[in-house]
Amino acid sequence: MYTVKTPFILRWLYPTLIWYGNRTEKRIFLTFDDGPIPDVTPFIINTLQRYNIKATFFCVGENIKKHPDLFNRLLENGHKVGNHTYNHLNGWKTPDDAYLQNIDRCQQLTVTHLFRPPYGRGKRSQYSKLRKNYDIVMWDVLSGDFDTTLPPEKCLANVLKHTQAGSIVVFHDNIKAIPRITYALPRAIEQWMAEGYEFGTL
């Protein structure tokens, strides 16, 4: 179960996490979780390059280790990278020490001040320690591209309906997302650009 638009109650419960950017500037922050992988990362990079857009990629350490060429390509293209743990861990199900050690292992590769918890799931005890070294980035629009039951057209409609000035939008750099992200990403970008939006990194 997930919601496309992040509920206010979550933002209220976790006010120290970053949920969106400046609402007064017509700028969107595109983010991509779980990569890099050869199945979809090149498509995302090429799409962003076509529109001269920079984005933020929350990378999984083991994927960086497997595909260092793709990770380097992200950096060479001017994109920002964030830490998404080494093994895509669910913070709710992982003891704090093991979770933090896994993040440290990923940090050796990402060297970043940005962190996003996989599944958006972390404990307050984990966040309180992570805030000392990271900006913890969540989102206010979840594309649902990971949902294999979601038609690509609905994925596109979701992001277009809920995105506004300052939105942090999540797409996924993984195999499950391919049918939806390859359909929705370029079409959403074209629509947002037609509406006068600019794009930024976190």
As a residue count, the chain comes to: 202
pLDDT at 1: 67
Q: How far is C-alpha 26 from the geometric centre of its chain's CA atoms?
A: 19
Rounded-to-integer distance, Cα 97 and Cα 18, Å: 23
User: CA-based angle 84:86:89, to the nearest 5?
Assistant: 70
What is the residue extent of each domain of the chain?
Answer: 8-175+191-199
* Residuewise pLDDT in 10s, the chain (202 residues): 688 989 888 889 999 999 999 999 999 999 999 999 999 999 999 999 999 999 999 999 999 999 999 999 999 999 999 999 999 999 999 999 999 999 999 999 999 999 999 999 999 999 999 999 999 999 999 999 999 999 999 999 999 999 999 999 999 999 999 999 999 999 999 999 999 999 999 9
> Residues 33, 34, 140, 145: which is the catalytic one?
33
Is 33 catalytic? The answer is yes
Helix H or strand E encompassing 157: helix 152-162
Rounded-to-integer distance, Cα 169 and Cα 138, Å: 9
Is 104 catalytic? The answer is no
Q: Does domain 8-175+191-199 have CATH number 3.40.50.720?
A: no
> Residues 34, 84, 172, 173: which is the catalytic one?
172
